[in-house]
Amino acid sequence: MIKDPSIFENTIYIIKSLRFSHWVLRTSKLSLSEIISYLPFLLSGLDKSKDLIKRLKKFHDAVEEEGADFDLIKKEIENLGWYNIKLSTKPIIKDE
């Protein structure tokens, strides 16, 4: 847990999110590429997917305005083994 008050609040939130995402991926046995490809399908199953996207945009704007410690975030990504991620260019679309 990060307790240093000099670190941006946004940085702490991003690192917690990365760690939680890492745990979810290990538990689900899916790769990050697979999760990203399934994102449209996952969002369609949410009751408030528009609200989630609005909150993510608001968070993005806060990071741009207030800043974040990107060196610390980069180290966390490297520690989680996600540094050289290759993502699919096409999303997986559920056939109905």
Structure tokens of 77? 């990504």
The predicted pLDDT at position 49 comes to: 67
Query: Is 3 contained in some domain?
Result: no
Q: What is the mean pLDDT of the chain?
A: 73
Q: What is the mean pLDDT of residues 83-92?
A: 56
Single out the residue of 31, 41, 33, 55 nearest to residue 96, CA to CA. 41
Q: What is the DSSP letter of 36?
A: H
| pLDDT band (50, 70, 90) for residue 17 | confident
Tokens of 65: 């305005």
Task: Decide if 2 is inside a domain.
Answer: no
In a domain, 45, yes or no: yes
Mean pLDDT of 41-48: 72
Between 96 and 61, the more confident residue is 61
Query: 2 versus 73: which is more confidently predicted?
Result: 73
Asked if residue 40 belongs to a domain, the reply is: yes
Domain with 25, as residue range(s), is 9-79
> How many structural domains comprise the chain?
1
Q: How far is CA 96 from the centre of its chain?
A: 28
Pick the closest to residue 44 from 88, 87, 89, 96 (CA basis): 96
- In angstroms, rounded to a whole number, what is the distance separating the alpha carbons of residues 58 and 36? 20
pTM attached to this predicted model: 0.54
Question: Greater confidence, 2 or 64?
Answer: 64
User: What length is written for the chain?
Assistant: 96
Distance of CA 57 to the CA centre of its chain: 13
